[in-house]
Chains A and B, each alone.
Chain A
Amino acid sequence: EPEVTQTPSHQVTQMGQEVILRCVPISNHLYFYWYRQILGQKVEFLVSFYNNEISEKSEIFDDQFSVERPDGSNFTLKIRSTKLEDSAMYFCASSRLNEQFFGPGTRLTVL
C-alpha cells in the first residue's frame, strides 16, 4: 500500500542553522501539506501546496519557512534560521481528493 515517507526521522540542529525536511508524498496525489506538533500540543497546520505553489498558509508559516517541490516526487520544508521554539514533530501529508494521509514525521530538536 502506498504511503507518505519522510526523512530524516530525527534531526538535531543548533539555533540559527538552516534545516530541510524531506517528504515523498503518495505518487498520484495532488495536494501536499506540512503540519507540526509541539510536544504535548495539538497538530497544527503550516502550509498547503498545489500545482507547484502555496495555496494556503497559517500564521506560523512566516518568512523563515519555505516549501518546494524540486522534482516530481519530493516535497521539502525549509526553515532558514531555526529557533528553539521550532522544536517539534513535523508531519507531511498528501491527498488526491479529500482523504489526507500523513507521513511518520520528522522530530526536529533545536538546541
Chain B
Amino acid sequence: SQELEQSPQSLIVQEGKNLTINCTSSKTLYGLYWYKQKYGEGLIFLMMLQKGGEEKSHEKITAKLDEKKQQSSLHITASQPSHAGIYLCGALGGGSQGNLIFGKGTKLSVKP
C-alpha cells in the first residue's frame, strides 16, 4: 500500500523567514494534495498537483511535484503567524473514486 512521509514533523520559524515542507511517496503520485489544518478543525484545501514538474502558487505558498512524481514540496515565503498550523499532504489512493491517503502532517509554528 502507498505511504506518504512528511518532513520535518514539526517546524518553528521566525516570522518573515522562508520554509519548505516535503512529502515523499512510496509509489508514483497520480494526484498530490496539500491541505492546512488547524488543531481540532477541518482541512483547508490549498492546492492539487498532477503533472510531473508542475508548480502552483497561491499567495505566498508554492507547491511543486517533482518530475518523477514521487515527491512534492511546499514552500512558504516570508512566513506570517497566520501560516501556523498542520500541513498535510494527501495522495490519490489508487481507488477509482478519488479516496485520499494522508501523511502524518507537519506542524508549523511561526514566532512573531
Which of A's residues lie within 8 Å of B, judged by CB? Answer: 4, 31, 33, 35, 41-45, 48, 50, 55-56, 58, 89, 91, 93, 95, 98-105, 107
Contact for B98 among A4, A31, A89, CB less than 8 A:
A31
CB atoms of A43 and B43 under 8 A apart: yes
Instruction: Determine the chain B residues whose CB is within 8 A of the CB of A102 once the complex forms.
Output: 35, 42-45
Q: A48-B95, A107-B40 are in contact. Are A43 and B102 (CB under 8 A)?
A: yes
In the assembled complex, the Cα of A47 lies from the Cα of B30 at a distance in Å of 20
Residue of A whose beta carbon sits closest to that of B35: A102
Instruction: Determine the chain B residues whose CB is within 8 A of the CB of A93 once the complex forms.
Output: 43
What's the A-B contact tally at a CB cutoff of 8 Å?
A: 63
CB atoms of B42 and A98 under 8 A apart: no
Binary flags per residue of B77-112, CB closer than 8 Å to A gives 1, else 0: 000000000001010010111111111110000000
Which of B's residues lie within 8 Å of A, judged by CB? Answer: 31, 33, 35, 40-45, 48, 50, 88, 90, 93, 95-105
CB atoms of A56 and B97 under 8 A apart: yes
**B106 CB to nearest chain A CB (Å):** 13
Instruction: With a 10 A CB-CB cut-off, give which of B35, B40, B99, B100 has the most chain A CB atoms.
Output: B99
CB atoms of B99 and A33 under 8 A apart: yes
Instruction: Determine the chain A residues whose CB is within 8 A of the CB of B45 once the complex forms.
Output: 99-102
In the assembled complex, the Cα of A4 lies from the Cα of B40 at a distance in Å of 16
CB atoms of A55 and B88 under 8 A apart: no
Residue of B whose beta carbon sits closest to that of A103: B42
**B47 CB to nearest chain A CB (Å):** 9
CB atoms of B42 and A100 under 8 A apart: no
**A75 CB to nearest chain B CB (Å):** 14
**A48 CB to nearest chain B CB (Å):** 4
Contact for B90 among A4, A43, A105, CB less than 8 A:
A43
Instruction: Determine the chain B residues whose CB is within 8 A of the CB of A58 once the complex forms.
Output: 99
28 contacts between A and B (CB under 8 A): A4-B42, A31-B97, A31-B98, A33-B98, A42-B102, A42-B103, A43-B43, A43-B88, A43-B90, A48-B97, A48-B99, A56-B95, A56-B96, A56-B97, A56-B99, A91-B42, A91-B43, A93-B43, A98-B48, A99-B33, A100-B33, A100-B98, A102-B35, A102-B45, A104-B41, A104-B42, A105-B41, A105-B42
